[in-house]
């Protein structure tokens, strides 16, 4: 049975459903003699009598009825796989990767990247350390450093600045406390700044940017945030001046081959426009998201 061809099993279904060779020939476009030979061969391969042949047509034998149920289940599974495949690849995907601070901003403005009539799907993801666009880990990435090598195309975008923040309602006992990202999840100078400059005063740490923001908002201490994230939080206030040495540009990066895909090129242009529209937010000149 292992050597029975799937095409012959599908043909077997047609013969069984149509009750003979003529009907199966009309359904498949194959000649009746060809179908007859293939059914004989299927019986030899399976070692079972599958049909009772007569002038009235082909009627399933006992073993044929058993095989029919098996093949019908196989066909149903094959149809489900085909439908799943069709749904998954009906539209191209454009994946956009950015760091833990920028990813929520991109997600909140995803309507700026894809309009209601655009024929592509969008994947918003967080960029991990060592993200490699050469191997298509993302179609487009927004990075804080320009890649040094690789077959990549990059566009310089807005400048990001950072400052210390605290809750507007921070209790007095927490005024000297600091909160930091853990060293195992600190990938940039901004992530490491508190450990490198306020280590003795660190009272709480976390492994995720979104948790750092929530801990600061809860009044657990002071922490360093990008201005576009900190200034957008009404419950927070700056606890010091902008930290000049942490300032850096953002770069929109794509594989040089992929950037020519129409949907990728469109997303790159819209990302550039979105960041440019919010340039004052990233530099700290305004305290609300541009709409």
Q: What is the mean pLDDT of residues 190-200?
A: 94
Q: Band of the pLDDT at 25, cuts 50, 70, 90?
A: very high
pLDDT of residue 56: 87
SS (H, E, C) 242-253: CCHHHCEEEEEE
pLDDT in tens, 201-253: 999 999 888 899 999 999 999 999 999 999 999 999 999 999 999 999 999 99
pLDDT of residue 172: 85
Q: Band of the pLDDT at 184, cuts 50, 70, 90?
A: confident
Q: What is the mean pLDDT of residues 175-185?
A: 90
Strand, coil or helix: 78: helix
- Is residue 101 pLDDT above 70, yes or no? yes
Q: Band of the pLDDT at 171, cuts 50, 70, 90?
A: confident
Task: Work out the percent of the chain whose per-residue pLDDT is above 70.
Answer: 95
Q: Band of the pLDDT at 131, cuts 50, 70, 90?
A: confident
Q: What is the mean pLDDT of residues 195-199?
A: 94
- Is residue 146 pLDDT above 50, yes or no? yes
Cβ neighbors of 5 (< 8 A, separation 6 or more) are none
DSSP 133: G
pLDDT in tens, 239-289: 999 999 999 999 999 988 888 899 999 999 999 999 999 999 998 886 544
pLDDT of residue 201: 95
- Is residue 162 pLDDT above 80, yes or no? yes
Contact of 161 with 282, CB cutoff 8 Å: yes
pLDDT in tens, 43-55: 999 999 999 999 8
- Is residue 136 pLDDT above 80, yes or no? no
pLDDT of residue 290: 39
Q: What distance in Å separates the CA atoms of residue 38 and residue 257, rounded to the nearest whole number? A: 47
- Is residue 126 pLDDT above 60, yes or no? yes
Q: What is the mean pLDDT of residues 120-137?
A: 81
- What residue ranges define each of the domains in the chain, with the CATH number in brackets? 6-88 (1.10.10.10), 93-156+250-271 (3.40.190.10), 162-246 (3.40.190.290)
What is the reported pTM?
A: 0.67
Burial 249-262 (b: 16+ CB within 10 A, else e): ebbbbbbeebbebe
7 vs 130: which has the higher pLDDT: 7
* Mean pLDDT rounded to a whole number for the chain: 89
pLDDT of residue 84: 76
pLDDT of residue 44: 93
Burial class (CB in 10 A: 0-12, 13-18, 19+), 220: buried
């Amino acid at each position: 049975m292992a050597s029975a061809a799937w095409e012959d099993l599908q043909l077997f279904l047609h013969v069984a459903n149509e009750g003979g060779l003529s009907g199966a020939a009309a359904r498949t476009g194959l000649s009746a003699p060809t179908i007859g030979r293939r059914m004989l061969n299927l019986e030899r391969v399976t070692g079972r009598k599958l049909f009772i042949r007569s002038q009235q047509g082909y009627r399933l034998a006992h073993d044929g009825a058993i095989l029919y149920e098996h093949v019908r289940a196989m066909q149903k599974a094959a149809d489900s796989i085909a439908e799943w495949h069709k749904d998954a690849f009906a539209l191209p995907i454009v994946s956009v990767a950015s760091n833990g601070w920028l990813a929520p901003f991109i997600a909140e403005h995803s309507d700026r990247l894809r309009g209601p009539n655009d024929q592509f799907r969008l994947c918003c993801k967080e960029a991990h350390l060592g993200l490699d666009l050469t191997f298509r880990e993302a179609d487009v990435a927004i990075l804080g450093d320009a890649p040094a090598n690789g077959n990549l195309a990059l566009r310089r975008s807005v400048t990001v600045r950072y400052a210390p923040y605290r809750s507007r309602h921070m209790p007095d006992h927490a005024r000297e406390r600091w909160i930091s990202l853990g060293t195992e999840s600190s990938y940039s100078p901004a992530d490491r700044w508190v450990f490198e400059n306020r280590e003795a005063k660190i009272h709480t740490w976390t492994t995720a940017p979104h948790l750092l923001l929530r801990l600061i908002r809860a009044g657990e201490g002071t922490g360093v945030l990008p201005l576009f994230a900190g200034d957008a939080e009404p419950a927070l206030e700056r606890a010091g001046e902008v930290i000049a040495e942490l300032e850096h540009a953002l770069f929109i990066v794509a594989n040089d081959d992929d950037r020519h895909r129409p949907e990728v090129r469109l997303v790159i242009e819209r990302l550039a426009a979105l960041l440019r529209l919010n340039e004052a937010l990233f530099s700290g000149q305004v305290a609300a998201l541009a709409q």
